[in-house]
Structure 1
């Protein structure tokens, strides 16, 4: 396990397009950031921002957090990963995960079936394909008949898994190169770490709002939390973390279709636990709490709504600022 030497940033930023992110991304290495991580929901894809970041800020480690295992075919996923691995030898980390029914089925016309098995099978396929092997294998959730990359990367990328509960965390520790999680408090990191052991890299996206207006942050945070924690996998994650009873009123109101009541039912202490907020110094100290509890790679996602503009927040949250 590392000692907090890594300090990542999410791209693109919430307040600007990818095209408008070049100058701020280019500042990151000088500010002390070591990593830049993409996401893939319904905005940018998970690979293009990393290819651009490699040009804008050479030397950063590039990571996807995450690309779904079920929205691309296995071969296409291997080709995309190989392309980034070729552009950034030894500096690209492929993060994959099960995603959710909304993203896989409703938005991408895929099939969200056996998510654990599909992620495991994709991981096993990718390890072989990215090593340059010809893959002809029938997995539990799909079959590949003779796929071989035209040009395998000289350095196969590390593969990390989105993992929220023991079964996937164990898979990440046993067969992948790390685990990615989010929406957790510093003290939750210890519980996650216990499942993967001390040697497996643990990455987490941390949502940060540089603002001393706690009421305003909590209002914003409730909207974000309700949209995530009502997703079954996140609901189960927080049950496992021990927040089931705290979040029960929110789930009941949400299930009844009363969105406003659901928002009001989220306790302040839950928002404060899961969203980093305060002035920049307070936020940096909170991020270091995550590291002290066992997080290797904090990936910051500064959110708008505070008094501090995103660009300023990125600069003030940098690890070297005191």
Structure 2
């Protein structure tokens, strides 16, 4: 269907320790990529280090590790380690993350997210190229950092980007952009900001189930928890959903969670969550690709009687 076809690891229904066999299947099923995430489950690097051994040949990426929960030097060391384990197969995805993750969960400071991401990108490009870095950036200063073992080939770096300013930074200075929670139609608007030559990566949440009511019930909880985060609220304002999502935001601000869930229209759920039988889901994913998405990264969500391993196999390009 497309040159790249990714899967999120580890899987949502099992620990990393129980994921080895299914991760090892991915290349044979036609998946080209395995991408980690980092919220409050597995960290962004260990799953990729293991997948480098379990699924040789597959491209590995982080989508994403926050730039404010590690120091720049530690981030460079982690990236260099993965680049050494998987030469030319590791892609470092970084982003600003959110105040909840950075401040409430990691005791960091969520300040000037665009500048911090830009500065970290510029530092990492130098550090991963083996340079000794001594430089005062807008958001931090580095004095004499040099990797003890720089990768022979620096990894590509891609940025989490939801709105024009960050998307344009990704196109101008990084190797790609990662986005999230968008419809196939939204891809065109995002693509217009980065041009035709920048890789566009997106995580797509997929429910292989024909029980639309059950999917929508689960999906509303997912959507409310994400789209009320300021950066995602602003993203969907930019995409044109500000008015249709206003009742949800007002109910959420009033701490009426049930009213907030009910305020999310079916059409919004159906636009942002891929669901249906496996063939319908694959066709929907293809719409994203047709509209300009280079790398769909599937995140299967268990619903009903379809276990994750079945969904992974049925959503594969060789299914």
The normalised TM-score by structure 2 is 0.99
Query: Which residue in the other structure is 1:296 paired with?
Result: 294
Structure 1 stretches of 5 or more lacking a match? none
1:216-227 aligned within 5 A: 216-227=214-225
- 1:5 equivalent in alignment to 2:29: no
1:49 Cα offset (Å)? 0.1
Secondary structure, in 3 states, of the residue corresponding to 1:199? coil
Query: Which residue in the other structure is 1:119 paired with?
Result: 117
Match of 2:26 among 19, 23, 28: 28
- 1:42 equivalent in alignment to 2:40: yes
**CA RMSD of the aligned region, Å?**
0.6
Cα distance between partner residues in 1 of 2:249 and 2:317: 37
Cα distance between partner residues in 1 of 2:2 and 2:129: 30
Cα distance between partner residues in 1 of 2:256 and 2:88: 48
Moved over 2 A (4+): none
Match of 2:174 among 169, 173, 176: 176
Per-residue CA deviations over 1:3-57 (Å, capped at 9, x if unaligned) read 8210000001011000000000000000000000000001110000000001110
Structure 2 stretches of 5 or more lacking a match? none
1:209 touches 1:306 (CA, 8 Å); kept in 2? Answer: no
Cα distance between partner residues in 1 of 2:213 and 2:62: 32
Cα distance between partner residues in 2 of 1:129 and 1:193: 29
The normalised TM-score by structure 1 is 0.99
Match of 1:247 among 240, 245, 248: 245
Query: Which residue in the other structure is 2:310 paired with?
Result: 312
1:306 Cα offset (Å)? 3.1
1:68-107 aligned within 5 A: 68-107=66-105
Q: What number of residue pairs does the alignment pair up?
A: 319
Secondary structure, in 3 states, of the residue corresponding to 1:95? strand
Query: Which residue in the other structure is 1:157 paired with?
Result: 155
Query: Which residue in the other structure is 2:231 paired with?
Result: 233
1:123 touches 1:176 (CA, 8 Å); kept in 2? Answer: yes
